[in-house]
Chains A and B, each alone.
Chain A
Amino acid sequence: DQQVKQNSPSLSVQEGRISILNCDYTNSMFDYFLWYKKYPAEGPTFLISISSIKDKNEDGRFTVFLNKSAKHLSLHIVPSQPGDSAVYFCAGQTGANNLFFGTGTRLTVIP
């Protein structure tokens, strides 16, 4: 049972433009949602999170939007930079700090 889904395996964006990565979930009990970034041969690195009671959280170039009624969240990166090229994982977090990850979206930012 996949509780978190990322339906786009890959995304290509021109440098300087906006990248939008999407994520859907089925578990209404998630307390937080997180985005992790992963480079090859490295472990995932925490990027940004949002509480389930918020609808937006911003940190520099990164903004996460949460639509609870649609059980959908998205990560916006603007402007996109070549160093942002990586695999991005969306995750839902329960009260026990268990993370349920999506399958990831590979972002390629073209210079």
Chain B
Amino acid sequence: EAGVAQSPRYKIIEKRQSVAFWCNPISGHATLYWYQQILGQGPKLLIQFQNNGVVDDSQLPKDRFSAERLKGVDSTLKIQPAKLEDSAVYLCASSLDLDTQYFGPGTRLTVL
């Protein structure tokens, strides 16, 4: 069974630029999560989807971050414009329902 796929693996941008990350969850998994992990910290939930609906986006900085999961499968997370403090690893996870979360390898973002 294929795991959670994410791309790109690494991205370097300058502040005020835009960036987008892509996630393909495990086949059949209804729930998808985006986490932000800043260096030296644990992952922090940004947004949770159940199929193509948002369950929780209370921690998402909505002035610059957006996410969508249009067909209930793949998802994209966008940052526009990026700030220095957005440098982090962005992790995507999926679960069959509200159970064990399986994580992708993450996208390491560096904002200069």
Contacts and interface: CB of A to CB of B under 8 A. Distances in A.
Chains A and B bind each other: yes
Interface of A: 4, 6, 36, 41-46, 49, 89, 91, 95-104
Given A96-B55, A97-B31, A98-B56, A103 B102 contact: no
A45 B106 CA distance: 12
Interface in B24-64: 31, 40-45, 48, 55-56
Interface of B: 4, 31, 40-45, 48, 55-56, 91, 93, 95, 98-106
Contacts of B93: 43
Contacts of B48: 96-98
A6 B31 CA distance: 27
A42 B5 CA distance: 11
A104 B93 CA distance: 18
